[in-house]
């Protein structure tokens, strides 16, 4: 019981850290481009996580035949995922982003037939609820939502959910042969390399010119969100039921909305709240189905 209580507190801290990531990204985008921000995050996170896992003996050798699969994981779960996510935050709010990223569960459910899972009636109803929440969040209740100020960023964030779904489905196949620690650290490393062309096209930033606040943001994203968050998440999964651990993800939009209100001055409108509730409820029902 004491051990589980400890993990609950750690998971609560992880949810707060991941919620704050949207705030730090939004702040640092005022100085550094989204692709450069993603690159520097993983150039730091990859070697730090590798060192931690290497010392703990959790990394296993990878077969050459699985390299294409690892590249696909890196592309969908790191390179494109964060390039698109950070680009989305240029055009939409931190609150919207933290809500809409949960659409990944919708896409996972739809794509799960590729790994032999069935779309049940309960899942279908849950998907409708979640989709309704997406519409409310993106449109703010405005029928002329195609001209909504945040629409471009909202659509990018929904696409980001699709990328995470691809990463999740592809990862299921490789998890039959490797532990999640190995897959994640290789995805981090390969993903960082694949981010180089994006950052170069954007204009490779000189890290010596970054402000203190930008460096704080990068270190927070790399160490706390990528390394600490990952280690804490899997540590909790090893000691608690997966459904109990997953519940903490639903706290992230709430924490982000509160933080964004006080730090960025973002308004929390009625339709954003209603949309967020529908998405969270829909995602919860999908995962419990």
Cα distance between residue 230 and residue 100, in whole Å: 21
- From residue 257, alpha-carbon distances to 167, 175, 254, 272 in Å are 26, 34, 5, 10
pLDDT at 153: 93
Token reading at 129: 């609820």
Cα distance between residue 129 and residue 124, in whole Å: 9
Provide the residue-wise pLDDT of the chain in tens; the chain has 289 residues.
546 677 778 888 888 999 999 999 999 999 999 999 999 999 999 999 999 999 988 888 889 999 999 999 999 999 999 999 999 999 999 988 988 887 887 787 777 665 556 667 777 777 788 778 777 776 666 655 555 678 899 999 999 999 988 888 888 788 888 888 888 999 999 999 999 999 999 999 999 999 999 999 999 999 999 999 888 877 776 677 655 666 677 778 888 888 998 999 988 778 888 888 888 887 777 666 6
pLDDT at 8: 79
What is the secondary structure of 35-79 as a DSSP string? HHHHHHHHHHHHHHHHHHHHHHT------GGGHHHHHHHHIIIII
Cα distance between residue 256 and residue 268, in whole Å: 11
pLDDT at 267: 82
- From residue 214, alpha-carbon distances to 102, 188, 217 in Å are 26, 21, 5
Which residues, 6 or more positions from 44, have their beta carbon under 8 angstroms from its beta carbon? 218, 219, 222, 223
Query: Residue 119 in contact with residue 128, Cβ under 8 Å?
Result: no
Q: How far is CA 277 from the centre of its chain?
A: 19
What 8-state DSSP symbol labels residue 92? Answer: S
> What's the sign of the alpha-carbon dihedral 10, 12, 14, 17?
negative
pLDDT at 20: 96
Cα distance between residue 268 and residue 247, in whole Å: 22
pLDDT at 116: 59
Which residues, 6 or more positions from 196, have their beta carbon under 8 angstroms from its beta carbon? 39
Tell whether pTM > 0.85.
yes
CB atoms within 10 A of CB 65: 8
Token reading at 121: 């009636």
């Amino acid at each position: 019981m004491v051990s589980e209580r400890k993990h609950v507190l750690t998971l609560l801290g992880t949810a707060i850290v991941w919620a704050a990531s949207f705030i730090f990204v939004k702040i640092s985008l005022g100085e550094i481009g989204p692709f450069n921000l993603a690159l520097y995050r993983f150039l730091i996170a990859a070697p730090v996580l590798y060192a931690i896992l290497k010392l703990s003996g959790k990394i296993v050798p990878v077969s050459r035949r699985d390299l294409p699969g690892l590249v696909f994981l890196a592309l969908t779960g790191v390179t494109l995922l964060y390039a698109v996510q950070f680009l989305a935050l240029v055009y939409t709010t931190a609150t919207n982003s933290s809500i809409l990223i949960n659409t990944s569960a919708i896409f996972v459910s739809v794509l799960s037939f590729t790994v032999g899972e069935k779309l049940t009636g309960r899942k279908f109803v849950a998907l409708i609820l979640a989709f309704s929440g997406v519409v409310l969040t993106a449109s703010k209740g405005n029928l002329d939502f195609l001209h909504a100020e945040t629409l471009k960023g909202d659509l990018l964030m929904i696409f980001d959910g699709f990328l995470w779904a691809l990463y999740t489905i592809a990862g299921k196949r490789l998890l039959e042969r490797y532990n999640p620690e190995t897959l994640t650290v290789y995805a981090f490393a390969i993903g960082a390399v694949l981010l180089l062309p994006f950052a170069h096209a954007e204009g490779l930033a000189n890290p010596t010119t970054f402000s203190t606040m930008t460096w704080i943001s990068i270190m927070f994203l790399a160490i706390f969100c990528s390394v600490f968050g990952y280690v804490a998440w899997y540590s909790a999964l090893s000691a608690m039921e997966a459904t109990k651990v997953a519940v903490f993800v639903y706290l992230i939009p709430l924490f982000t909305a509160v933080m964004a209100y006080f730090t960025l001055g973002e308004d929390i409108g009625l339709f954003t709240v209603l949309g967020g509730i529908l998405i969270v409820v829909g995602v919860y029902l999908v995962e419990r189905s």
